[in-house]
Amino acid sequence: MAIQLKSAAAITLGVLVFGAGAFAFFAPKTSGDMVQIPAGPAVLGYVYYTGLYGPMPYDVGAFQIDRFEVTNKAYNAFVADTGHAPAAFHDDAEFNAVDQPVTGVLHSDAGAYCSWAGKRLPTELEWEKAARGIDGQEYPWGNTMDLKLAHLTGSLPVPVNSFETDISPYGVRGMAGNVSEWVSDTRTARAGVCRDNTLIDRKATPQMRAMIAELTAANGGVVPELCKSPEHDNTSLKQDTPSEPCAYIKGNSWNGRPHMTVASNRMWDYTNSYAEFVGFRCAKDN
């Protein structure tokens, strides 16, 4: 069964992952306010250097993930029960509606909430599989860059149940827009870059080369900046270079740029930072 990533850069998941046989289409399964994601391989990553190496199959274990981003109402219940510090914008009328996603939370705040709820933050692999499904599609809804399908403009987050079109193959909502989301993956930021201590040498697969050629043609014959290998700055890799903890962020927001909408895109911030356009959702093991 051939499943296309892009018109000129197809990956046949049946060959890469399942052998020559076809696979059965999955139907979303729910458990209360969470969606069950089955174990198994999924084509994740992209040619950009702003995310997982790929496209290639990753084996991801079974887990559950919140259908919606965590709301102010849910976070306020956590604060009331534990005495934890409230979100930074809890007293801002533009950001504290009960059905808006909570924002203004540190990475540790998000982790504390999820722990209180009997859950945890999702990993980047889990988040991306929940957003893209198993066939490597670029957006939660498919491969069409239709930015009207998610909340990607304006100046405020909207209720989490808005934009029914911003829905993943598993039925998870709001993974392309509204607010970006903390995931559990943490690294060390040196010289203003959040990454492992060594650069990964990305040797292009045939699929990656085809996609880069297509993207370059669409970019007037120039390789897009995000496809270029980052410069190897040795100063950022020295152990005595000042460093700070950082964490990955997935998904675009009302405050983002169009290229950030692809589900493979990865952003980051320092773990002691917060923003009005970054929230989170939780996951847990099956």
Whether the pLDDT of residue 107 is over 70: the answer is: yes
Least reliable range by pLDDT among 34-38, 111-115, 233-237, 280-284: 233-237
The CATH number of the domain holding residue 146 is 3.90.1580.10
pLDDT tens-digit profile of 144-173? 999 999 999 999 999 999 999 999 999 999
Asked if 176 and 114 count as a contact pair (C-beta separation under 8 A), the reply is: no
User: In this predicted structure, what is the pLDDT of residue 269?
Assistant: 97
- In the three-class reduction of DSSP (H, G, I as helix; E, B as strand; rest coil), residue 260 is classed as helix
Query: Of 247 and 194, which is predicted with more confidence?
Result: 247
Domain that holds residue 185: 3-285
3-state percent breakdown (helix, strand, coil) of the chain, nearest 5: 20, 25, 55
Take residue 126 and report the two structure tokens written for it: 């889990």
In whole angstroms, give the CA distance from residue 72 to residue 260.
25
Q: What are the residue ranges of helices labelled H in the chain?
A: 13-16, 72-82, 107-116, 124-132, 206-218
Q: Which residue has the tokens 């304006």?
A: 154
Average pLDDT, integer, range 40-67: 91
Take residue 215 and report the two structure tokens written for it: 């993207």
How many structural domains are present in the chain?
1
In the chain, % of residues over pLDDT 90 = 66
In whole angstroms, give the CA distance from residue 284 to residue 40.
16
Asked if 253 and 180 count as a contact pair (C-beta separation under 8 A), the reply is: yes
Whether the pLDDT of residue 21 is over 80: the answer is: no
In whole angstroms, give the CA distance from residue 142 to residue 252.
16
**How high does pLDDT run on average in the chain?**
85
Whether the pLDDT of residue 233 is over 70: the answer is: no
Residue at 161: amino acid letter: N
Average pLDDT, integer, range 71-88: 98
Burial of 266 (0-12, 13-18, 19+ CB in 10 A): buried
Take residue 199 and report the two structure tokens written for it: 């650069």
